[in-house]
Amino acid sequence: MGDHKEQQAVRVGAAVRRRRRALELTLAVVAERTGLSVPFLSQVENDKARPSRTSLEKLADALRTTAVELLAAADPAASVDVVRAEPVAEGDFDPRTRSLVRGHHQLHASEFTGDHDAGREFQHRNDELMYVADGAVEIEAEGRAYRLGRGDTLYLTGGVRHRWRATVPDTRVIVVAVAEHIEAVQDRAR
């Protein structure tokens, strides 16, 4: 068993479906434009069939994009990635940040250990969850202060201004957020 990310085929079906729906096209219209059958296109969109390079290029043309763009927007068929804990020297209390997820994904997760720059304000486009794994923090969000202890969580919707600081030594905070490149929320009127 390895810790590496398995290289597997991508599922282009969801990308094809998203693009087709964004253009408000029916399967019948795409079939007419590509010369491919409606049942085959349905199987492609449901990842029950994989289009050949030629078919993918026909689909891309019909959807006013490129095969490269469709593949870039595709979902990985399956992925497993283990991120191992970093060794920490005994008595090392320096603040640290480490990413818990590698690569370009829909979620980002980070672990913050030790104190944090309490003066730094954050405002993220998408939602995030803060979980206190150890210690305690004080979070200021939209003018209100929240004190969180071990096991507590705070959920912030996209656009909420906030800042936080550790209030006890050896605090560990896990932050999981929807990635900035994901259009997860519509812009809210402020």
Give pLDDT tens digits for 118-135: 678 888 888 999 999 999
Same domain, 47 and 101: no
Query: Does any domain span residue 190?
Result: no
Q: What tokens were used for 28?
A: 């019948």
Same domain, 104 and 174: yes
Query: Does any domain span residue 17?
Result: yes
Give pLDDT tens digits for 79-109: 666 777 777 666 666 777 877 777 666 778 8
- Exposure of 40 in the CB half-sphere (CA atoms within 13 A): 13
58: nearest Cα among 68, 66, 50: 66
| Portion of the chain with pLDDT greater than 70, in percent | 79
Handedness of CA 116, 122, 124, 130 (dihedral sign): positive
Where residue 61 sits, what CATH number does that domain have? 1.10.260.40
Give pLDDT tens digits for 136-166: 999 999 889 999 999 999 999 988 999 999 9
**Which domain covers residue 101, as residue numbers?**
97-178
